[in-house]
């Protein structure tokens, strides 16, 4: 921390802005990182003695699989670094190596919380101090969630740098300034990192507000600065300027043997230390920089002293700071379900989440809101049906199996309940645009539907991935997969939505969530993010569960009417957990009711190809929430697999995580093959083709029913209908069918070659057309 303070003090004394450059550790190679840091510093020996330092502070990026605050350039660098095997341990080694070779400038680690959490926060901070790291910028760890982490930083004398965004409200700004211990990172614009053509016109005002509020704390401005002109103009408002994406671009565009030299030249160009006027810098870089500035607008820089930056306030100070004026939320601590939940999001989202929470609390307490919600029941197809599945019950020979028919809802799944509810909240908040993510397409279609109905602009982000082909599946099926995806896209487009295919990362639902979050940060004032499951930062899990609770509430009432009692068990499939939370929550205090969640076991929990987050995952932070996630030993998010796209997600709602830990609910995994058994049983015995997601619950419910007595009652949430999955089932049958003795194939031509029925029909259809 001291090194950072001294750096800003020196820059002040020299009358210049500090240059802070970012590079992702492990990009372009693990071995290059230490050398690149030295190259950035090159030209002098840092601060001792002050000579020709080109840059003043290095931000070393700790790569993460899901960097929601970063744009494509840094995201790509993260992906490459991870492929190269970069880890927190390797990044520490790079800093240690660079220090051994003489690196003097302060080094900040910039990254995301989960890898730090998994490393062990205390050990990480300690190891950082030993390696020569000076502080941290952790994009998704706002101070409310960082109380423990800041304590560790204080103990080791390292800096926790708070971020301030254009959306930060005055009371929060005051709070953030009050905890700054070395400098404040001001995010220049709403949105992600990346090179931008123009700078935010309000930046000067924002910096002025921060200066006035913080008094003597220096600020560094980042996000969107890439040229010398921008460096010079931003230096007028701030004590430091951060350049990131453009450094990554320079590295990407250089030959491996020239990378260090090119980066050094770039830094020289930014600070105006080119060959021609290098003599000026020999005498003092300060003069050259003063010359480059517009004297009229120069904001007084500052020197920070020890008294400005004591050890920092405690938790109560922080909470008080959040309540300085009436604007702050009346419920300052983010809601949690036991240890799960929270708001692990970039600073830019904090204010918007508070607005959403206020809007939701007001609506929830307003009977008129619920009247309006219920006035749309005829459109949604509510109340839903509850009926006995007689043949399924008979087959299992145990408890009565009842089906809660969410598949009969408008748009074919439970997703419409949440879509209507959130759109009504968005309208109350005056939002005119909706963004959403979708995996199976069901939430995308539900969102596009309600946007059409309520006249809102709609953009849906969708993972671009194709289902993985097995050797048995011929090349022409690839085309069919594209066609199937195109159909979902077409459905949403028919409804007037814009559909954005996310071709980044693993190209699945998780990347669609990343993109939706990024897009939301850029357009907060007009846009509501209509999240499709009980996931994400507070208040989303509570909002989604509240609207989906119609499932459990109706079930309770309807079974009472039919059987005069509560069910003995309720069962639901679990992707992010919205239909499950909606079914379970109304029964959570009825302890006689067993609650069974069924996750996607894919190829089996013993393999890496599954999406069973609760049954096979561990605690961590993803997409703004602390919950169970699927991750590796380094805290990087794992790729998932399920035959059903709607369950193919490496996180889960925090309320489900707390039910698991308190043993209130049990969570099991059904493999792809077992889901097919459920799919087949419901289709053949009840004449209902379920969604593949719901088929997991059917299988779990059947197994549970077998263990229960006749006369007992179990209700399965049939979350969606199977029309969307018929083709997937046909395609997977050659692989999965033999495992469960299910063969719908027709013999084709002579010999023993078989083709699944629908493939055969599609072929015939193709020939005919
Ligand atoms: C029919 C159906 N059921 C279940 C799910 C899983 O979502 P959640 O766990 O949020 O209910 C999906 C997701 O797309 C779905 O389409």
**If you write DSSP's letter for every residue of 506-519 in order, what string do you get?**
T-SHHHHHHHHHHH
Which pLDDT score is estimated for 428? 97
Is residue 600 included in any domain, yes or no? Answer: yes
Report the DSSP pairing between strands 340-341 and 336-337: antiparallel
Q: Is the CB of 597 under 6 A from ligand 1?
A: no
**54 and 150 housed in the same domain:** yes
Per-residue confidence band for 737, with pLDDT thresholds at 50, 70 and 90: very high
Ranking 45-49, 470-474, 501-505, 736-740 by mean pLDDT, the lowest is 45-49
pLDDT tens for 222-233 read 988 889 999 999
Q: Which protein residue's CA is at the shortest distance from atom 12 of ligand 1? A: 646
SS3 readout for 374-417: HHCHHHHCCCCCEEECHHHHHHHCCCEEEEEEHHHCHHHECHHH
568-582: average pLDDT: 98
Q: Structure tokens of 351?
A: 């204010």
Same domain, 443 and 590: no
> Which residue's CA is minimally distant from atom 10 of ligand 1?
578
Q: Indicate if the pLDDT at residue 208 is higher than 70.
A: yes
CB 722 near ligand 1, within 6 Å: no
Query: Does residue 329 form part of some domain?
Result: no
Determine contact, residues 558/586, Cβ cutoff 8 Å: no
| Residue 507 forms part of a structural domain | yes
Distance, CA of 123 to CA of 621 (rounded, Å): 18
Ligand 1 pocket, residue 721 CB under 6 Å:
no
pLDDT of 708 reads 98
Write the pLDDT tens digit of every residue in 403-460.
Answer: 999 999 999 999 999 999 999 999 999 999 999 999 878 899 999 999 999 999 999 9
- Give the pLDDT of residue 467: 46
Task: Report how far apart, in Å, the C-alpha atoms of 162 and of each of 118, 285, 356, 612 are.
Answer: 22, 29, 23, 35
The pLDDT of residue 488 is: 73
> pLDDT for 238-257, tens place per residue?
999 999 999 999 999 999 99
Mean pLDDT of the chain: 86
Q: To test ligand 1's pocket by mutation, which of 693, 698, 716, 717 has the most ligand atoms within 8 angstroms of CB?
A: 693
CB atoms within 10 A of CB 639: 16
Question: HEC profile for 158-212?
Answer: CEECCEECCCCCHHHHHHHHHHCCCCEEEECCCCCCCCCCCCCCCHHHHHHHHHH
Distance from C-alpha of 597 to C-alpha of 666, rounded to nearest angstrom: 6
* Per-residue pLDDT, 562: 98
Could you tell me if the CB of 578 is within 6 A of ligand 1?
yes
Which is the closest atom of ligand 1 to the Cα of 575? 9
Do 532 and 577 meet the contact criterion of CB atoms below 8 Å apart? no
How many angstroms is it from 442 CA to the middle of ligand 1?
8
What pLDDT is stored for residue 189 in this prediction? 81
The owner of tokens 């023993």 is: 752
Closest to 148 measured CA to CA, from 172, 167, 125: 125
pLDDT score recorded for residue 484: 53
Which residues are known to be catalytic?
Answer: 59, 70
User: Distance (Å, rounded) from C-alpha 581 to C-alpha 566?
Assistant: 17
CB 59 within 8 A of CB 20: yes
CATH number at residue 151: 3.20.20.70
Q: Among 447, 532, 533, 646, which residue has the most ligand 1 atoms within 8 Å of its CB, making it the best to mutate?
A: 646
Residues 195-221: what's their mean pLDDT?
86
- The pLDDT of residue 769 is above 50: no
- Ligand 1 mean position to 285 CA, how many Å? 60
| 221 and 209 fall within a common domain | yes
Which tokens in the block code for residue 505? 């990362």
Q: What DSSP letter does each residue of 477-517 carry, written as one string?
A: HHHHHHHHHHHHHHHHHHTT-EEEEE-STT-SHHHHHHHHH
User: In this predicted structure, what is the pLDDT of residue 277?
Assistant: 38
Instruction: Determine the residue of 410, 448, 574, 575 to mutate for testing ligand 1's pocket, defined as the one with the most ligand atoms within 8 A of the Cβ atom.
Output: 575
Q: Whose CA is nearest to atom 13 of ligand 1?
A: 646
Alpha-carbon span 242 to 279, nearest angstrom? 26
The CB of 579 under 6 Å from ligand 1? The reply is: yes
Distance 613 CA to ligand 1 centre (A): 14
SS3 at position 2: helix
Residue in 430, 417, 416 with CA at minimum distance from that of residue 362: 430
Cβ 573 under 6 angstroms from ligand 1: yes
Q: To the nearest whole percent, how much of the chain has pLDDT over 70?
A: 83
Are 191 and 254 within one domain?
Answer: yes
pLDDT band for position 689 (cuts 50, 70, 90): very high
pLDDT of residue 40: 86
Cα–Cα distance, 351 to 68 (Å, whole number)? 17
* b/e sequence 259-287, b meaning 16+ C-beta within 10 Å: bbebbbbbbbebbbbeeeeeebbeeebbe
Cβ–ligand 1 distance for 548 under 6 Å, the answer no
Q: State the closest ligand 1 atom to the C-alpha of 412, by its place in the atom list counted from 1.
A: 1
The verdict on the CB of residue 720 being under 6 Å from ligand 1 is yes
Q: Residues 362-392: pLDDT tens digits?
A: 999 999 999 999 999 999 999 999 999 999 9
What pLDDT score was predicted for residue 558?
98
Which atom of ligand 1 is nearest to 721's Cα? 1
Would 763 be classed as within a structural domain?
A: no
Distance 719 CA to ligand 1 centre (A): 7
DSSP state letters, 648-701: --SB--HHHHHHHHTTSSEEEEEEHHHHHHHHHHHHHHHS--B-HHHHHHHHHH
Residue 495 and residue 563 in one domain: no
The more confident residue out of 504 and 450 is 450
Q: Is the pLDDT of residue 114 over 80?
A: yes
Answer whether 531 contacts ligand 1 (Cβ < 6 A): no
**Banded pLDDT at 747 (limits 50, 70, 90):** low
Contact between residue 597 and residue 603 where contact means Cβ atoms under 8 Å apart: no
- 6-52 residue pLDDT tens: 999 998 898 888 999 999 999 999 999 999 999 888 743 333 333 45
pLDDT of residue 506: 73
**Shared-domain flag, residues 55 and 73:** yes
CATH number of the domain encompassing residue 719: 3.40.50.1100
pLDDT of the residue at 197 = 65
HEC per residue, 256-268 = HHHHHHHHHHHHH
576 in contact with ligand 1, CB cutoff 6 A: yes
What's the pLDDT score for residue 746? 64
176 CA from centroid of ligand 1 (Å): 38
Angle at 252 between CA 183 and CA 289, to 5 degrees: 40
Ligand 1 atom at shortest distance from the alpha carbon of 439? 14
Number of domains in the chain: 3
CB 222 within 8 A of CB 203: no
Are residues 173 and 212 in contact, defined by beta-carbon separation less than 8 angstroms? no
| CB 192 within 8 Å of CB 69 | yes
Both 661 and 512 in a single domain? no
Q: Are 681 and 536 a contacting pair, CB within 8 Å?
A: no
Domain membership of residue 344 as a residue range = 336-382+412-541
Cα(440) to ligand 1 centroid in Å equals: 8
Report whether pLDDT(274) > 90: no
What's the CA angle centered on 144, arms 143 and 148, to 5 degrees?
Answer: 75
- pLDDT on residue 50: 39
Question: Has residue 584 been placed in a domain?
Answer: yes
CA 26 distance to own-chain centroid: 22
584 or 260, higher pLDDT: 584
Residue 756's pLDDT is 52
Ligand 1 centroid – CA 548 distance (Å):
12
- Note whether residue 157 is domain-resident: yes
User: With contact defined as beta carbons under 8 Å apart, do 582 and 548 qualify?
Assistant: yes
- What does pTM read for this prediction? 0.89
**43-97: per-residue pLDDT in tens?**
433 333 334 556 799 999 999 999 999 888 999 999 999 999 999 999 999 999 9
- Ligand 1: does its nearest atom lie under 6 Å from the Cβ of 488? no
Q: Is the beta carbon of 724 within 6 A of some atom in ligand 1?
A: no
For residues 363 and 429, membership in a common domain is answered with yes
Give distance in angstroms: CA of 341 to centre of ligand 1.
20
Q: What is the pLDDT of residue 453?
A: 98
pLDDT tens string 591-641: 999 999 999 999 999 999 999 999 999 999 999 999 999 999 999 999 999
Report the percentage of the chain scoring pLDDT > 90.
69
Query: In the structure, what pLDDT confidence band is assigned to residue 286 with cuts at 50, 70 and 90?
Result: very low
- Is the previous residue joined to 28 through a cis bond, with omega within 30 degrees of 0? yes
Contact (Cβ atoms closer than 8 angstroms) between residue 384 and residue 407: no
Q: Is residue 117 part of a domain?
A: yes
Residues 477 and 621 in one domain: no
pLDDT in tens, 159-205: 999 999 999 999 999 999 999 999 999 998 887 877 666 677 789 99
Assigned domain for 546 exists: no
* Closest atom of ligand 1 to CA, residue 579: 11
* Most ligand 1 atoms within 8 A of CB, residue of 536, 596, 719 to mutate: 719
Alpha-carbon distance of 616 to 58, in angstroms, equals 38
Pair (356, 499) in one structural domain: yes
Ligand 1, atom 4, lies closest to the CA of: 693
**Ligand 1 center to residue 679 CA distance, Å?**
15
Query: What angle (nearest 5°) sits at the alpha carbon of residue 753, between those of residues 751 and 756?
Result: 145
CB of 359 sitting under 6 A from ligand 1: no
pLDDT of res. 476: 37
Q: Which numbered atom of ligand 1 lies nearest the CA of 509?
A: 14
Is there a single domain that holds both residue 646 and residue 587? yes
Q: How close is the Cα of 647 to the center of ligand 1, in Å?
A: 6
Mean pLDDT of 125-145: 96
Checking if the pLDDT of 318 tops 90, the result is no
The torsion defined by the Cα of 719, 725, 731 and 736, in degrees rounded to 10, comes to 10
In the block, tokens 């066609």 appear at: 483
Work out the pLDDT band at 521, boundaries 50, 70, 90.
confident
In this prediction, residue 744 carries a pLDDT of 84
Phi, psi of 447, rounded to the nearest 5 degrees = -70, -45
Same domain, 503 and 610: no
Residue 377 burial (C-beta neighbours within 10 Å; 0-12, 13-18, 19+)? middle
Which atom in ligand 1 lies closest to the alpha carbon of residue 544? Answer: 10
């Amino acid at each position: 921390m001291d090194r950072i303070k001294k750096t800003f003090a020196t820059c002040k004394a020299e009358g210049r802005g500090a240059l802070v450059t970012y590079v992702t550790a492990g990009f372009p190679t693990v071995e290059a990182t230490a050398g690149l840091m030295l190259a950035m510093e090159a030209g002098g020996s840092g601060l001792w003695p002050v000579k020709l330092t080109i840059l003043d502070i290095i931000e070393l990026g700790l790569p993460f699989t899901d960097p929601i605050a970063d744009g494509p350039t840094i995201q790509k660098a993260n992906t490459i670094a991870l492929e190269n095997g970069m880890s927190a341990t390797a990044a520490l080694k790079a800093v240690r190596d660079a220090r051994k070779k003489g690196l003097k400038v302060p080094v900040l680690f910039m990254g995301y919380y989960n890898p730090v959490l998994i490393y062990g926060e205390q050990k990480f901070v300690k190891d950082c101090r030993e390696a020569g790291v000076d502080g941290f910028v952790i994009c998704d760890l706002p101070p409310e969630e960082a109380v423990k982490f800041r304590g560790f930083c204080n103990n080791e004398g390292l800096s926790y740098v708070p971020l301030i965004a254009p959306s930060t409200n005055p009371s929060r700004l005051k709070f953030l300034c009050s905890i700054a211990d070395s400098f404040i990172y001001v995010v220049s614009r709403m949105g992600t990192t990346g090179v931008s053509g123009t700078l935010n016109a309000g930046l000067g005002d924002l910096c002025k507000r921060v200066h006035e509020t913080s008094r003597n704390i220096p600020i560094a401005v980042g996000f969107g600065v890439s040229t010398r002109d921008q460096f010079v103009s931003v230096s007028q408002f701030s004590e430091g300027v951060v350049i990131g994406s453009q450094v990554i671009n320079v590295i990407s565009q250089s030959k491996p043997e020239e990378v260090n030299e090119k980066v050094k030249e770039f830094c020289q160009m930014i600070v105006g230390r080119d060959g021609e006027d290098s003599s000026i810098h020999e005498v003092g870089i300060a003069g050259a920089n003063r010359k480059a500035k517009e004297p009229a607008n120069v904001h007084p820089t500052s020197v920070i002293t020890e008294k400005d930056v004591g050890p920092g306030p405690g938790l109560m100070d922080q909470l008080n700071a959040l309540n300085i004026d009436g604007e702050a939320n009346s419920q300052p601590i983010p809601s949690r379900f036991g240890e799960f939940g929270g708001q692990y999001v970039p600073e830019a989202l904090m204010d918007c989440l508070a607005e959403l929470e206020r809007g939701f609390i007001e609506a929830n307490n307003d009977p008129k809101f619920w009247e309006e919600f219920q006035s749309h029941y005829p459109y949604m197809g509510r109340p839903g049906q509850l009926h006995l599945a007689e043949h399924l019950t008979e087959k299992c020979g145990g408890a009565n199996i009842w089906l809660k028919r969410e598949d009969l809802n408008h748009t074919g799944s439970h997703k419409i309940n949440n879509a209507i509810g959130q759109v009504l909240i968005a309208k109350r908040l005056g939002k005119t645009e909706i963004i959403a993510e979708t995996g199976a397409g069901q939430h995308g279609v539900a969102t596009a539907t309600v946007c059409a109905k309520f006249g809102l602009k709609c953009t849906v982000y969708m993972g671009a991935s194709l289902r993985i082909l097995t050797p048995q599946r011929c090349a022409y099926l690839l085309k069919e997969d594209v066609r199937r995806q195109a159909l979902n896209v077409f459905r949403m487009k028919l409804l007037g939505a814009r559909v954005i295919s996310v071709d980044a990362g693993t190209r699945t639902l998780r990347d669609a969530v990343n993109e939706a979050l990024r897009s939301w940060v850029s357009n907060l004032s007009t846009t509501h993010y209509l999240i499709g499951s009980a996931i994400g930062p507070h208040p989303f899990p509570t909002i989604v569960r509240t609207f989906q609770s119609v499932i459990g509430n109706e079930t309770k009432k309807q079974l009472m009417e039919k059987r005069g009692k509560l069910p003995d068990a309720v069962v639901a499939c679990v992707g992010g957990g919205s239909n499950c939370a909606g079914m379970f929550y109304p029964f959570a205090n009825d302890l006689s009711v067993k609650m069974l969640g069924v996750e996607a076991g894919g190829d089996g929990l013993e393999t890496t190809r599954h999406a069973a987050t609760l049954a096979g995952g561990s605690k961590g932070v993803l997409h703004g929430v602390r919950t169970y996630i699927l991750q590796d030993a380094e805290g990087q998010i794992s790729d998932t697999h399920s035959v059903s796209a709607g369950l193919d997600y490496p996180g889960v709602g925090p309320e489900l995580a707390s039910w698991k830990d308190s043993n209130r609910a049990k969570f099991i995994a059904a493999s792809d093959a077992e889901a097919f058994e459920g799919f087949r049983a419901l289709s053949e015995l009840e004449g209902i083709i379920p969604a593949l997601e719901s088929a997991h619950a059917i299988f779990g419910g059947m197994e549970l029913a077998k263990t229960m007595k006749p006369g007992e009652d179990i209700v399965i949430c049939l979350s969606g209908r199977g029309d969307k999955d018929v083709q997937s089932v046909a395609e997977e049958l050659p692989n999965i069918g033999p495992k469960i003795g299910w063969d719908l194939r027709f013999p084709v031509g002579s010999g023993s070659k078989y083709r699944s029925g629908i493939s055969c029909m599609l072929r015939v259809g193709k020939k005919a057309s």
